[in-house]
Chain A
Amino acid sequence: QVQLQESGPGLVKPSQTLSLTCTVSGGSISSGPYYWSWIRQPAGKGLEWIGHIYSSGSANYNPSLKSRVTISGDTSKNQFSLKLTSVTAADTAVFYCARVSYHYGYMDVWGKGTTVTVSS
């Protein structure tokens, strides 16, 4: 079955760029009908959708983060990535990648999550 695994630095300095990768196994990011999404969750708080990418490479972002976020895909490695620029302590969170149904928008496969702390 499809599995997702997040990877990337656990510590990022303020004002720098947070970069994470989600590796997909058991399925291809280039075959639909799915979006591939990033979601984050600050400690003790709720879930926030960051954005997603479709197999075509087109992406949608949360307007609240749009100026700082880029999500891209690498079909040769079957991975998709998140870049979040100019981070502050408020960006400290557990980051999840997830597969999203193209037609119905539900997230049926999730990675285990990776914690990113923004601190000097």
Chain B
Amino acid sequence: EIVLTQSPGTLSLSPGERATFSCRASQSVSSSYLAWYQQKPGQAPRLLIYGASSRATGIPDRFSGDGSGTDFTLTISRLEPEDFAVYYCQQFGSSPPYTFGQGTKLEIK
């Protein structure tokens, strides 16, 4: 099983600042199969990034993804008030289970 470890656990920032989220895999993950999601309280997750760096439909360009192998990053270039949420990475490897990271909570400082 591929374990995804996200850091930090909590990120405290202010609107307008830059946010960087890390996702590290226990073994190499094809970039094609790494996705990022945003989840707000009481809501289902929303797809932000797929294929490590491709934005999903309707996602603003302040969201970007990068990385390869075992290290992946999600960046929000300039935080808007609606961006404060929990962020998850997810991998879809060659065999199940298809795992999620434990999440990073982005909170307002």
Contact = CB atoms under 8 A, between A and B. Distances in A.
Interface of A: 46-49, 51, 60-64, 96, 98, 100-101, 103-108, 110-113
23 contacts: A46-B101, A46-B102, A46-B103, A47-B88, A47-B90, A48-B100, A49-B96, A51-B96, A60-B96, A62-B97, A63-B96, A96-B44, A96-B45, A98-B44, A103-B32, A104-B32, A104-B50, A104-B92, A105-B90, A106-B50, A106-B51, A107-B37, A110-B45
Contacts of A113: 44
B47 interface: yes
B97 A64 contact: yes
Interface residues of B, number: 26
Given A63-B96, A105-B91, A108-B50, 15 more contacts: A47-B90, A49-B98, A51-B96, A60-B96, A62-B97, A96-B44, A104-B33, A104-B35, A104-B50, A104-B92, A106-B51, A108-B56, A110-B45, A110-B46, A112-B43
A47 B100 contact: yes
Query: Which of the listed residues B32, B33, B90, B96 has the most CB atoms from chain A within 10 Å of its own CB?
Result: B96
Given A46-B103, A63-B97, A96-B44, A105 B88 contact: no
A71 B84 CA distance: 34
Interface of B is mostly: loop
A49 B47 contact: no
A67 to B, nearest CB: 14
Nearest to A65: B97
A44 to B, nearest CB: 10
A32 to B, nearest CB: 16
B32 to A, nearest CB: 6
Contact of A49 (B57, B99, B101): B99
